[in-house]
Structure 1
Amino acid sequence: MNTTLTKEPRPVVFWEHRVYPGHLALLTRVRADLAADLTGFDEDLVDTVRLVVSEVFANCCKYTDSGREGGEAIRGLSMPDDRTLRVFLSDAGGGGGVPRVPAEHTESEWSRAEGQRGLLLVENLSTDWGHFRLAPWADLGTHVWATFGIAPERTPRDLRPHVFTS
């Protein structure tokens, strides 16, 4: 058997992951940490990323075991190339489903799908987004990611390949 491994390019910049208890009360801290991590980037980009992360973090807290006692959500941030910013959140599982943009159209169907409307925001504000299950056989969680286009000339010049958070 001949196996070929494909090597994805290493991120140009990789921020240390942040781990948060899954409580909505921490949303202010999540947003502040993200703004601090993205110091020097275009303010509109930072605000957009903060809005998307707020929605995904809220979903982690509301729909998964991340929001239960002892639950956590992990936030990651990277630049896979000089034109892309990628953010992700991984939850603790236990939600019994996967994120989806609602396709329902009647008033009652939209009412039932109300908790998923925030993903429309994610879809419309990001360049691309997606998700995958972490070990679906064990329901270890869902990894939701979003990417954002950035202009290389609007990227801080002093970024290092690895950014450690405090």
Structure 2
Amino acid sequence: MTTPTVFWEPRVYQGELRELAQVRNDLARDLTGFDPDLVDTLRLCASELHANAARYTDPDRLYGEVIRSLSMPDERTLRLSFSDSGGGGGVPRIPSERTEGEWDRAEGQRGLLLLEHLAREWGHVRLAPWADLGTCVWATFDVDPAAVPTGLRPFVFTD
């Protein structure tokens, strides 16, 4: 794996849905100067990823935190990821053929369909599966290199 062109300092949130407005606001601030449509797309996907991470975060572990990471691994790609603190079980996957009752119970996984259509690619990795330390779900998005704000530093500190 190559060193990212830009790496934003990770942001840590409580694993609760009430954090969604802050997650979206922070992401918009971190991506100031990028194409507004791209920022809106990432904010929408971030909402889904944070909601899923909050659902699978164990509130009794690591204070029930969700970690957001953001980077540009190259000049044409933004990479967004959310990691939960484990204990909730489950593996992120796109829903498949289901009965009506199964669809009702799978409400949280519908956001992955959105991610599937808006991101270039997405995936997940278990964090130390032998200790159930959580899951990281990531997605990459295309960036027009000509539209990248000038003056980005290799490491961006968040406030």
| TM-score scaled by length of structure 2 | 0.94
Aligned to 1:59: 52
Aligned to 2:17: 24
Pick aligned residue for 2:143 from 126, 150, 158 = 150
Give the C-alpha shift of residue 66 in structure 1. Answer: 5.2
- Percent of pairs identical after alignment? 65
Aligned to 1:136: 129
Aligned to 2:29: 36
Give the C-alpha shift of residue 36 in structure 1. Answer: 0.4
Look up the SS of the partner of 1:123 in the other structure. Answer: helix
Give the C-alpha shift of residue 114 in structure 1. Answer: 2.2
Aligned to 1:95: 88
Partners of 2:15 and 2:57 within 8 A in 1: no
Look up the SS of the partner of 1:41 in the other structure. Answer: coil
2:77 is the counterpart of 1:84: yes
Partners of 2:4 and 2:74 within 8 A in 1: yes
The structure having more radius of gyration, on CA atoms, is 1
Measured in 1, the distance between the counterparts of 2:112 and 2:35 equals: 23
2:114 is the counterpart of 1:121: yes
Look up the SS of the partner of 2:25 in the other structure. Answer: helix
* RMSD (Å), alpha carbons: 1.6
Which runs of no fewer than 5 residues in structure 1 stay unpaired? Answer: 1-7
Aligned to 1:159: 152
* Distance of aligned partners of 1:66 and 1:118 in 2 relative to their CA distance in 1, 3 Å threshold: farther
Give the C-alpha shift of residue 32 in structure 1. Answer: 0.5
Pick aligned residue for 1:73 from 66, 70, 73 = 66
Runs (4+) off by over 6 Å: none
Deviations 1:56-115 (A, max 9, x none): 101111233159892100001000000000011110001111111111243233223222
Which runs of no fewer than 5 residues in structure 2 stay unpaired? Answer: none
Q: What one-letter code is carried by the residue in structure 1 that aligns with 2:102? A: E
Look up the SS of the partner of 1:19 in the other structure. Answer: strand
Partners of 1:35 and 1:46 within 8 A in 2: yes
Look up the SS of the partner of 1:65 in the other structure. Answer: coil
